[in-house]
Each structure stands twice: as structure tokens, then as C-alpha cells.
Amino acid sequence: MNTLYVYSLLAGLFFGAWPLMMQRTGLQGNLSATVFAGVAFVVVGLATLKSGFEPLHSVNLPLAFAAGVVGAIGLLCFNNMLAGATRETVTNLFITAIVVQVVVPAAYNMAVTGDLSLRKLLGFAAALATAWLLR
């Protein structure tokens, strides 16, 4: 199996597990986001120290900053959703968030490639049906 697919599967596993764990901590939205971000900063920072830094002259730092802001807003929204969810509602809300998360890059791909095919439109319909059926 391709290493990138292994990373993709592991990312899905860990991204699927951490919110369910965090929701059970009892931390409220912004504080749980702070704990998550702080721990992630330490873990990712250690990994970066181990692997080394990339040269920064060839990267788009304003876009990286904007991506960080967008991700932070998403994390705050997501953790506030987790904090307000019950054990019974967290999975439905989580599935909704994941389906929207899947639709965004699919729509981006369609915009970049101009591929507005029936197959892609059926894929969007299937994503919505999946979310509805899994709730």
C-alpha cells in the first residue's frame, strides 16, 4: 500500500478518535480547543525539531497564516459543538461536520478542474445520503 494512503487512513483514524475523546473530558469549547492546540503544538513541534525546518523563503507565509486562522476558527466551532453535544447527539453532529469537510475539497477540485460531471454530482448526493443514513 502507498505510504500516502497509510497516512490518510491513520489521519482518518486519529481525526475520528480525538473529538470523541475530547467530548468526554467535560472541558468547554474554547478551553478544550486551547488544550488540544497546546498539546498539538508540543507534539508537532517535537516532530518538527526531529525532522528539521523547511526553508521559509519559498513558501507563501501570508497564505499559511490565513490557513492557520481558518483552521483555528474551525477548531473553535468544532470544540464548541463538542462541548454542547450529548453522548447521544455527538455522533450526528460529528458526521455532519465530516460530510461538510469532505464536500469542501470536492467542490474545490470541481472549481479547479472544471469537472462538473454527473459522477461528481452523484457523489455530493451520496455524501448527503450517507450523513442522513448514519444519523
27-52 per-position pLDDT tens digit: 998 999 999 999 999 999 999 998 88
Domain stop point among 84, 105, 121: 84
Same-domain pairing of 127 and 66: no
Same-domain pairing of 110 and 61: no
Q: Say which amino acid occupies 113.
A: T
Same-domain pairing of 39 and 98: no
Same-domain pairing of 32 and 1: yes
Same-domain pairing of 79 and 95: no
Domain count, the chain: 2
Same-domain pairing of 13 and 51: yes
Same-domain pairing of 42 and 105: no
Same-domain pairing of 8 and 42: yes
Q: Tell me, what's the pLDDT at 63? A: 94
**Residue carrying the nine cell digits 462541548:** 83
> With a threshold of 0.85, does the pTM exceed it?
no
Exposure pattern of 67-79 as b/e (b: 16+ CB <10 Å)?
A: eeeeeeeebbebb
Domain boundaries, position 114? 87-135
Same-domain pairing of 67 and 100: no
Full DSSP string of 1-23:
--HHHHHHHHHHHHHHHHHHHHH
Cα 49 from Cα 65, distance rounded (Å): 20
In the chain, which stretches have pLDDT less than 50?
A: none
Q: Tell me, what's the pLDDT at 116? A: 84
Same-domain pairing of 12 and 73: yes
Q: List, in order, residues 6 or more apart from 123 with CB less than 8 Å away.
A: 106
Q: List, in order, residues 6 or more apart from 25 with CB less than 8 Å away.
A: 32, 35
Same-domain pairing of 29 and 77: yes
Q: Tell me, what's the pLDDT at 57? A: 80
